[in-house]
Amino acid sequence: MGVLVGRKAPQFKASAVVEGNKFVDDFTLEQFKGKYVVLFFYPKDFTFVCPTELHAFQAKLDDFKKRNVEIIGVSTDTEQSHWGWLQMDKNHGGIKGVTYPLVADTNKTISANYDVLTGDYFYDEEGDLQATGELIAYRGLFLIDKEGVVRHQLVNDLPLGRNVDEVIRMIDALQFFEENGEVCPANWHKGDEGMKADHDGVADYLGKH
């Protein structure tokens, strides 16, 4: 799919761990219609960069909630793996204290539909099924609006952690545009002035040059 901005976010139903310790068999994206969603993918449980990101999202969870935003994490690990990692203390490499949902994309279809899967399947000359890479998720992030449309996406390679403050800035920019009808210039932050999208003025200018 490549770029999903402007399109409906792919729907899914999967197992997940919610509230840090509860298993859910039928977790869906559809249940959050009417709210903004930050859906982020990470490569693996029990790794190094990933827990720093998951804790960073948790640390800002109240800021997201104030903006009517739900945070959802996804990896190709099992729900049992998610649960085990959630029981481990932070100083031992765990993510204990994370309360937002962690989805188990064990059949890798969610990652594939969002085009963040690192590898792919293929058949060799003998007709045997093979795979390139580990078939895990890149560090993809998708900002989905209240109507279920993707409005922003970012995909980092595996070694590159994300900036959670930048995610909040993008949410503020989207909500500012929705509330005021003004667009946000480079390096815009909440409290800055926006710009009016004056299409007539642009047309007049182009007509004179």
Question: What residues are labeled active site?
Answer: 50
Residue type, 10: P
CA distance 54 to 108: 20
User: Is beta strand 139-144 parallel, antiparallel or unpaired with respect to 150-156?
Assistant: antiparallel
Reported in sequence order, the residue ranges of 42-128 that DSSP labels E, i.e. its strands, are 69-75, 102-104, 120-123
Q: List the structure tokens of 58.
A: 């948790």
List CB contacts of 128: < 8 A, sequence separation 6 or more. Answer: none
DSSP states along 135-187: --B-EEEEEE-TTSBEEEEEEE-TT----HHHHHHHHHHHHHHHHH--B--TT
